[in-house]
Amino acid sequence: MEMPPLTIGSRTARLPIVQGGMAVRISMAPLAAAVAEAGGVGLIAGSGLDADELKREVQAAKSATTGVVGVNIMVAVRKFKELVHAAIEGGADVIVAGAGFSRDVFGWCRDAGVECVPIVGSERVAKLSERFGASAVIVEGHEAGGHLGTDEYMLDLLPRIVESVTIPVIGAGGVVTGADIKRALDAGASGVQMGTRFAATVESSASDEFKSMYVNATDEDIVLIKSPVGLPGRAIRNPLTQRLAGGDYPVIDRCISCLKDCGKEYCIIDKLVRAQQGDVTGGLVFAGSAAARINDVPSVRELMQRLVAEWEVATSGGAR
């Protein structure tokens, strides 16, 4: 028995695996292209990039694979429209929009022949997305890394959203193995989105220090932090998260007004960039709740083969 494909509008990936778009500069062209080439949907994180850089990244990924390549952009960023159009001009197959809701993006994607996939956390938003023309929705549960839009776990939320819409529903949050994929598909998902697992791969643009934080993390190291975006965020404990927990916010050296609405407690883009570049003491290492289950840094090809093998074992009634 083969793992089922994932169809999003007019695009079909051989495997029902979407690699999450992780900012800033964690999931760039090398990671997205490798995932797409291995049969999944590869996503470049557009938040934190300028339009020209994002366009170049999409073009680089598209030139490296015939697979499905998309871009994840936070609605909360001030240059959301500019980034969406840059991704479209670069040739993106899919636009994933999270951390907010935009009606306009559906029209932009429809006019360009690009699939629009919003991240949702409720039946109401899922239904609204379908009505506006979404090709699929991603249900991101509380287990996910980065900014969190719900307190509900993915497997609790997923069946209700599957029941509420007719378009494909993709489950995200806490998925790191093939057995996890099977559980999501059994709950009605057409596919899964995996961010944390792909952050710790060879092709990820995260620093070696960042990847080591994942490999060495324990369950006790995964914490929630306050984000200036206005949503809680999940990260790996380090000196910065301990400062944030105590309300000791780092001074903003230079504000570039990257967010539409920012609490300005500290500059989250700066802290995410620092971690990506290797400063895992003063930077912010976003991760999902399942980061403690990651203990190696494989290539994307090796990981995808492993996920398929694990799914096959789970499907045949083996280890879960």
- Please state the three-class secondary structure of the chain as a single string: CCCCCEEECCEEECCCEEECCCCCCCCCHHHHHHHHHCCCEEEEECCCCCHHHHHHHHHHHHHHCCCEEEEEEECCECCHHHHHHHHHHHCCCEEEEECCCCCHHHHHHHHHCCEEEEEECCHHHHHHHHHHCCCCEEEECCCCCEECCCCCCHHHHHHHHHHHCCCCEEEECCCCCHHHHHHHHHCCCCEEEECHHHHCCCCCCCCHHHHHHHHHCCHHHEEEEECCCCCEEEEECCHHHHHHHCCCCCCCCCCCCCECCCCCCCCHHHHHHHHHHCCCCCCCCECCCCHHHCCCCCCHHHHHHHHHHHHHHHHCCCCC
Contact between 72 and 45 under an 8 Å Cβ cutoff? The reply is yes
319: pLDDT confidence band, cut at 50, 70 and 90? low
Contact between 288 and 143 under an 8 Å Cβ cutoff? The reply is yes
Q: Is the pLDDT assigned to residue 285 strictly greater than 50?
A: yes
Q: Is the pLDDT assigned to residue 208 strictly greater than 70?
A: yes
pLDDT score for 257: 65
Q: Is the pLDDT assigned to residue 144 strictly greater than 80?
A: yes
pLDDT score for 261: 67
pLDDT score for 318: 62
C-alpha to C-alpha distance for 200 and 285, rounded to whole angstroms: 12
Q: What is the mean pLDDT of the segment spanning 211-233?
A: 89
Higher pLDDT, 166 or 320: 166
Residue 237 tokens, joined: 């404990």
Neighbouring CB atoms inside 10 A of 220's CB total: 8
Task: Tell me what percent of the residues of the chain surpass a pLDDT of 70.
Answer: 97
Mean pLDDT of the chain: 92
CB-count exposure of residue 256 (10 Å: 0-12, 13-18, 19+)? exposed
88: pLDDT confidence band, cut at 50, 70 and 90? very high
Backbone torsion region of residue 309, taken as left when φ is above 0, otherwise alpha when ψ lies between -120 and 50, otherwise beta: alpha
Helices 80-90 and 51-64 sit at what angle, rounded to 10 degrees? 30
Domains, the chain, in order of start with CATH, read 13-205+296-311 (3.20.20.70), 208-291 (no CATH)
Backbone torsion region of residue 163, taken as left when φ is above 0, otherwise alpha when ψ lies between -120 and 50, otherwise beta: alpha
Higher pLDDT, 227 or 318: 227
Q: Is the pLDDT assigned to residue 168 strictly greater than 60?
A: yes
320: pLDDT confidence band, cut at 50, 70 and 90? very low
User: What are the residues whose beta carbons fall under 8 Å from the beta carbon of 233, sequence distance 6 or more?
Assistant: 146, 147, 148, 224, 225, 226, 227, 268, 284, 286
Q: What is the mean pLDDT of the segment spanning 94-104?
A: 90
Model pLDDT for residues 232-274, shown as the tens digit of each residue: 888 999 999 999 999 998 888 777 666 666 778 878 888 888 9
Handedness of CA 227, 70, 67, 312 (dihedral sign): positive
The pTM of the full predicted model, rounded to 2 decimals, is 0.92
pLDDT score for 269: 84
pLDDT score for 250: 87
